[in-house]
Amino acid sequence: MAHPSVVVEDLSVHLGGRCILEDLSLSIGNGQFVAIVGTSGGGKTTLLRALAGLLPAERPNSIHLDGTPVDGPDERIAMVFQHFGLFPWKTVEQNVRYGLDVQGKTDHDGRVDRLIGMMHLEHCRKQYPHQLSGGMKQRVGIARALCMEPQLLLLDEPFSAVDAITREELHTEVLQLWERQEQMNAVLVTHDLDEAILMADRIVVLCGPPGRIILDVENPISRPRDIQEIRGHTDYIRTRRRLWDALKNGTNGAASEPTKMRAAL
């Protein structure tokens, strides 16, 4: 973690008079995949939206990407949404191309074709989102984000709206895609501990409100990972246990001493 690429410093977010995040700090290293897990209402999604520059800044310069502040929607950041966020009147291909298109990045047909191929969307290129299953829709969402070749990829519970079998397939595909590249940072918000351990290099447990980090662990399981074998791994079981304990204690109100938690690990 020599050059932290994403730096969050003393980020506070209030929405509708409620404090959602309070003085949160986090730095993410180059090429790191960070999973943020936590209970509902703990501020996971708010943190992700703040990273995407979608929330009005309460304190300037509390988020930096590669040395420059993120103070609004940023072309270096792309997001995959829980609700897929596809335009119903655009075909699969047009949806994949959307980000490039609005940012005036024409001349990237190769990239679009490559991602359509990688996400197995060739046969439905000309179809509209309502003709696709949930899993296919999220493939389009992921292809659209990756098309941007972002420095920071944000994933907001991207697999929670698809069925279990499709989820496993998507896990495998995203894992393979991830392991083939080096430049990107990714932040995955999820409430699925297995998904976090499977995908991430590092797992952050967020508890709230107001959201605070109560645990921050490196994932001991090395890459490349095999989705079928990983679940029997002793490290997997141990990590899962730690995360679960942190989540449970955090919600029980014992989270006021994050340092103690960290030391106990």
Partner 1 sequence: MNGINGQKSVATPVAEAGSQPPAPVTTQTVTSPAATSGKARRGPRRLNRKQRWLLQVASTVAILVAWEIYGRSVNPVIFTYPTAIARAFVDMLADGTLAQAALESLVVLGIGSAVGAIAGIGIGLLAGRSDTVAALIEVPVNALYATPSVALIPVIVVWFGFGATAKSIVVGLFVIFPVLINTMRGVREVDPDLLEVARCYCSSEPKLWRDLLIPSALPYIITGLRLAIGRGLVGVIVAEFFTAISGLGNLIVTNANSFETARMFVPIVVIAVYGVLATALLEWVESRLARWHR
Instruction: Enumerate binding residues for partner 1 (CB under 8 A).
Output: 52, 54, 73-75, 77-79, 81, 83, 85, 87-90, 98-99, 101-103, 128, 130, 148
* Comparison of 74 and 93: residue with beta carbon closer to partner 1: 74
Least spacing, CB of residue 222 vs partner 1, in Å = 33
* Comparison of 148 and 196: residue with beta carbon closer to partner 1: 148
* Comparison of 29 and 69: residue with beta carbon closer to partner 1: 69
What is the distance between the terminal CA atoms of the chain, rounded to a whole angstrom? 20
Least spacing, CB of residue 35 vs partner 1, in Å = 20
Least spacing, CB of residue 141 vs partner 1, in Å = 9
* Comparison of 78 and 198: residue with beta carbon closer to partner 1: 78
Write down the H helix ranges in the chain.
44-51, 92-102, 109-118, 134-147, 164-179, 193-199, 234-251, 258-264
A 10 A CB-CB count for 12 gives: 16
* Comparison of 74 and 201: residue with beta carbon closer to partner 1: 74
Least spacing, CB of residue 234 vs partner 1, in Å = 40
Residue from 73, 92, 180, 98 nearest 137 by CA: 92
CA distance 216 to 112: 36
Element (H, E) at 7: strand 6-15
Least spacing, CB of residue 244 vs partner 1, in Å = 30
Q: Which amino acid is at 107?
A: D
CA distance 34 to 17: 29
Residue from 109, 104, 83 nearest 96 by CA: 109
* Comparison of 18 and 83: residue with beta carbon closer to partner 1: 83
Least spacing, CB of residue 59 vs partner 1, in Å = 21
Task: Give CA 143 to chain center in angstroms.
Answer: 14
